[in-house]
Structure 1
Amino acid sequence: MTGSTACARVVVEELISYGVRDVVLAPGSRNAPLAYELFEADKIGLLRLHIRIDERSAAFTALGLAKGSATPVPVITTSGTAAGNLHPAVMEAWHSRVPLIAITADRPLSVVNTGANQTTRQSGLFAGHVRAEVQLSSNDLAPRAWRFQLNRALVAASGLRSMIGGPVHVNIGFSEPLVPEPVDAIEEDYREVTPSTGRPPVTRLPVGPQTVVVAGDLPPEDGAEIAAIAERAGIPLLAEPSSNARGGGTAISSYRLLLQSSLVDDIERVIVVGHTTLSRPVTRLLQRQDIELIIVDAAPEWSDPAMNADRVIAAFELSPGSAESDGPDEWLARWQQADRALRPLITRTIADPATDAPMITGPALAELVWQSLGAEDLLFVGSSNPIRDLDLAGRSATPPVTYANRGLAGIDGSVSTAIGLALAADQPAHALLGDLTFLHDSNGLIIGPAEPRPRVRFIVADDNGGSIFATLEQGHPAQMSAFERLFGTPHGTDLAGIAAASGVDYLKITRLDDLREHLRLPPHGLEIIDVRVDRDHRRTLDERLNSLAATL
């Protein structure tokens, strides 16, 4: 029996039996045994195979598929630097708890450290960023051991036992021959793994004292539940765009600015759900020593960047209680009244970049995208300014299902993640990205003619550089002599040329009304909408927005 063919067959069988339905493969020689088995499984409809020539794009495509389906998705590479290119997606998956399965083909252990071609130390390659790591060798001819190790990795990725999912690493040493050979019947070994616990215990909290719920990055179903809890209790909900709670009845759309008003002084308790990473006003709130800070997380890990939590609980419900401070109805009314008063001021400010040659502002673009999409739509938002611009958008009763890579909030892999989400949902999707974010992963547009075709409209906020730095310390007038080269980083890249080279539809937009009309129709394939936005006045715009709450 050929060890490599048998091992690859066991791997694919275990993936399918566990419920894996999408696999992303980057071509190579050492991973060829897996490629052949996946090719056959794809032909008979047991799974859907996606081929990508760039391993980093492949990994983020798998990340998007896993985020969108909430099921484990493998990405498979050959040995050497190919395996190393998975690391950014593995890190994002670790921090956002996405069940990404990194399967790296390796040379036999006997040639590691000899200088053999495409051979490096792949064992432990992702140490510290995986829930489990297993090492298989085709030379062992041990199907029962292969199945056990794979099952252990799949259970760890899903969080079935630990209540916390995330990426795992399966490193497989394949020996020649690397092409299919006849194999004997392979021993089967069925095992059933059940969850270690049921639903997490619910802590019942009184509505008083004056409480706000802060919702960070959350899966859609969790965000909807948090929105419902806040609405039943009648307390303000401060929800980031990718919390999927922003459509709740008590959501405060301008919360980021209101946290810079006198309202913030009256907050007595903060309940945090999800990964909050977006704004400094929220960070300052969580650092306050005079509030009660409650972190809600069912998993054994929890996020408390301020190191200020009074309690960490698995789940919560708010029940009526008494307090000497404002009752919940009056407390919510104060926030809602301030939100209504601030909204027209925000609208006027983002529509006017304070220049003699008006251009589209980033927040105005985000507002239009948010209001143009509905509950049936899927939106991926890139890091940097786009998600912060979206955080200023007004209320929508039917906001789109929204995703973002907020585990580490990097800009890499965003094109591929959006494509993976669209493929997982099997529906059209939109992605709002900055130009640097788009360019960083433009390889993700390269999809072979035989591959499953996503339908994604990439709306690129193109300001020819990195405008987020203009809003930070580096953008202060005193730092202007070095700013443009070190942080503004103008690139002068023609996005139309990238679209033409990739065979992707392209449209340049200079008026928001034109974009509004275009958004009425769903994307039919891959599209790039290039929207030139203002960068020169970004710091001034940010300062004007941050000063609005003081006028209330």
Structure 2
Amino acid sequence: MGKVSEKNGVQQLVDSFLKHGVKYVVFSPGSRNAPLVVSFANDERFKCYVIPDERSAAFYALGMAEQSSTPVPVICTSGSALLNYYPAVSEAFYRNIPLIVISADRPSEWTDQGDGQTIRQENVFQNHICASTTLFESPISEDQSWFNKRSIDEVMNTAKYPNGGPVHFNFPFTEPLYKTIEKESPSASSKGLTELMNLNPQLSTSQKEELREIWNNSPRKLILCGQMPNNSYLNEQLKNLANDKSVAVVVENTSNLQDRSFIHCIDRTITSFLENNPELYQPDLLITMGGAVISKKIKKYLRIFKPKHNWKIGQEFPFIDTYQSLTKSIPIQPNSFLDFLLEDGFTRDISRYGEQWKQLDYLTQGNHMMYLESVPYSDLSVFSLILDAVPDQSDLHLSNSSVIRYAQLFDPIKSINYYCNRGTSGIDGSTSTAIGNAIVGDNKLHTFITGDISFFYDSNAFWNNHIPSNFRVFLINNGGGGIFNIIPGPQSTPQGDEFFVAKHSFSAKSICEAFNVNYYAANSMQEIDGQLDKFYEIQSNDRPAVIEIFTDGDKSGKILLDYLEKTKVKDIPVLEI
């Protein structure tokens, strides 16, 4: 027996969520959501977290859903609280993460009538939501109970489906809000659950023949992989395909795909040929899979030097045409499609196109290592040191803007899982998402690398009692938005430093003291190196730790541009293709 809200619509929701595999629930404090609070918090089968800042709370839930591969609800009171969830909702939408938004609401008759904390909540996320519904708080007929049940099942199945994502339940509540009853906890079995079966489409014989013919008549084949979770089976399949000399497998660190036969550092590699023999690397067939690709250079290049054929693999956003050349969208999971590509009947080694890519990657890697031997203290040298310090068998989280771009210049670390909010590529919520991942992950270390603007913007991520002791933050404070010292444009305007770079002289020390976070500071490579052991040391009931590394933003921007110039391969060897 346990106490639950007297509102039987809430009881239906709780019972259904157990059947749909919900384990974690995130709350934003309020009063109108009291029926939901008492029902979930009093049920020991849910693990509940209270995150005061709504924007941060939604990103916490997003990180939990990403790490656990389960739908995670985030629940708020009525009014403007709900609107603060939107940044995380849009991120979840473009990454197909099952973020479940539940908003308490005022009775619909009071909307637009001057009542406090009453806004138009229905369909508020309509442009970035996979499904939404408004539920009855206390169904008074069998039809209303049936409506609640089928709506919950439909919306939850939509969230979990391979091309799913965020969903929204709106729950208008009348007073009283806090009245409870004793109720026996139901079984979490799937009995009575309407389930949407996940069927993987199959290629017909004629479709296979057509695709095989295109492959066999395409001497230059480029497989480009964007953001995705770790997939060891896919990794092995791509290794087998990369043995074909006519295939180049190009990946980013956020794809979590690693092998010596892959081209990992796109920007580091293609800088050499963008102005020197660019047509040499133009593919006949481009195969894309996974989510967002970070490199703007590869996007621009492939939009100019278009492939004859471009296949998009996967069920998510089937008509996305990033490279303006989409010829076939194949809604099959990558593992299954690559099984097909590895069947007999495919011609192999019909060119040396893949070798051409790999040779250039090898040469730029050598230039990269030489440059780092004498690079002055800067963002680049700091990244070289801290990436090397990340422990094996851990998770690495990266904020956006300059941080993720610096990280892409370095080969991936073996046994490390990479995470970053690349759905919308915003800086909002990076810290919260990383901590959400760490909370529901195992006891391994979680390292987060962030810039100063991202850190300050999401500093409320530390304003709660749930941050695990295995969370570590490298904060690179270069006095402003470092990305705007790198990209062309901002510094050509008189307002560059003030309006784009947003230069400042703030430190995170007081923030860490306010939220009881262990704090370290460093102004040199020696100071960073000398504190790493203590920084990563974990003691029982310890707090997370931040090491703030101060660098010169202007100097770092110039060094990065010099690096990209000096690591170019001046005379690209041309293989007989």
TM-score (norm 1): 0.89
Looking at structure 2, the residues matched to 249 and 350 of structure 1 have their Cα atoms a distance apart, in angstroms, of 21
Corresponding residue SS for 1:487: helix
State the 1:37 CA deviation. 1.2
Paired letter, 2:548: D
State the 1:201 CA deviation. 4.5
Corresponding residue SS for 2:264: coil
Query: Which residue number in structure 2 is paired with residue 544 of structure 1?
Result: 562
State the 1:333 CA deviation. 3.4
Query: Which residue number in structure 1 is paired with residue 166 of structure 2?
Result: 167
Query: Which residue number in structure 2 is paired with residue 176 of structure 1?
Result: 175
Matched, 1:462 2:491: no
Alpha-carbon RMSD across the aligned residues, in angstroms, is 2.7
- Equivalent position to 1:20, from 8, 19, 22: 22
Query: Which residue number in structure 2 is paired with residue 333 of structure 1?
Result: 355
Identity %: 25
Distance 1:399 1:545, change over 3 A: farther
CA contact (8 A) 2:252 2:264 kept: no
Distance 1:488 1:200, change over 3 A: farther
Deviation sequence 1:382-434 (CA, Å, 0-9, x none) = 110111101000354x1410111100000000111001111121332011111
The range that moved more, 10-19 or 531-540, is 531-540
Looking at structure 1, the residues matched to 183 and 393 of structure 2 have their Cα atoms a distance apart, in angstroms, of 49
Query: Which residue number in structure 2 is paired with residue 115 of structure 1?
Result: 114
- Equivalent position to 1:152, from 148, 151, 154: 154
The range that moved more, 50-59 or 293-302, is 293-302
Query: Which residue number in structure 2 is paired with residue 77 of structure 1?
Result: 76
- Equivalent position to 2:462, from 422, 439, 445: 445
State the 1:290 CA deviation. 4.2
Paired letter, 1:228: E
Distance 1:337 1:522, change over 3 A: farther
Looking at structure 2, the residues matched to 484 and 97 of structure 1 have their Cα atoms a distance apart, in angstroms, of 36
CA contact (8 A) 1:4 1:138 kept: no
Matched, 1:265 2:279: yes
- Equivalent position to 1:248, from 246, 251, 259: 259
Query: Which residue number in structure 1 is paired with residue 61 of structure 2?
Result: 62
Query: Which residue number in structure 2 is paired with residue 412 of structure 1?
Result: 428
- Structure 2 counterparts to residues 166-315 of structure 1, below 5 A: 166-182=165-181, 190-198=192-200, 201=203, 206=215, 209-221=219-231, 224-234=232-242, 235-245=247-257, 247-260=258-271, 261=273, 262=276, 264-266=278-280, 267-268=282-283, 269-291=285-307, 292-299=309-316, 301-313=318-330, 314=332, 315=334
Corresponding residue SS for 2:473: strand
Looking at structure 2, the residues matched to 6 and 454 of structure 1 have their Cα atoms a distance apart, in angstroms, of 39
Distance 1:20 1:433, change over 3 A: same
CA contact (8 A) 1:137 1:172 kept: yes
The range that moved more, 91-100 or 256-265, is 256-265
- Structure 2 counterparts to residues 86-101 of structure 1, below 5 A: 86-101=85-100
Deviation sequence 1:257-296 (CA, Å, 0-9, x none) = 3223157522323221122341221112331354232222
Matched, 1:424 2:443: no
CA contact (8 A) 2:96 2:316 kept: no
Distance 1:286 1:200, change over 3 A: farther
The range that moved more, 4-13 or 112-121, is 4-13
Looking at structure 1, the residues matched to 537 and 396 of structure 2 have their Cα atoms a distance apart, in angstroms, of 12
Looking at structure 2, the residues matched to 429 and 59 of structure 1 have their Cα atoms a distance apart, in angstroms, of 19
Query: Which residue number in structure 1 is paired with residue 575 of structure 2?
Result: none
The range that moved more, 400-409 or 231-240, is 231-240
- Equivalent position to 1:527, from 520, 535, 545: 545
State the 1:471 CA deviation. 1.7
Distance 1:546 1:265, change over 3 A: farther
Paired letter, 2:253: P
Corresponding residue SS for 1:172: strand
State the 1:186 CA deviation. 10
- Equivalent position to 1:368, from 385, 402, 405: 385
Gaps of 5+ in 1: none
The range that moved more, 71-80 or 10-19, is 10-19
Deviation sequence 1:467-489 (CA, Å, 0-9, x none) = 1012222244x32x221111111
Looking at structure 2, the residues matched to 310 and 166 of structure 1 have their Cα atoms a distance apart, in angstroms, of 26
CA contact (8 A) 1:256 1:281 kept: yes
Paired letter, 1:359: Y
Distance 1:186 1:338, change over 3 A: closer
State the 1:173 CA deviation. 0.5
CA contact (8 A) 1:68 1:425 kept: yes
CA contact (8 A) 1:367 1:394 kept: no
Matched, 1:29 2:44: no
Distance 1:57 1:300, change over 3 A: closer
Matched, 1:345 2:367: yes
Deviation sequence 1:73-121 (CA, Å, 0-9, x none) = 0000000010111011001110111100000000111211211110000
Deviation sequence 1:336-364 (CA, Å, 0-9, x none) = 332232223223435656xxxx4332x33
- Equivalent position to 1:473, from 488, 496, 507: 488
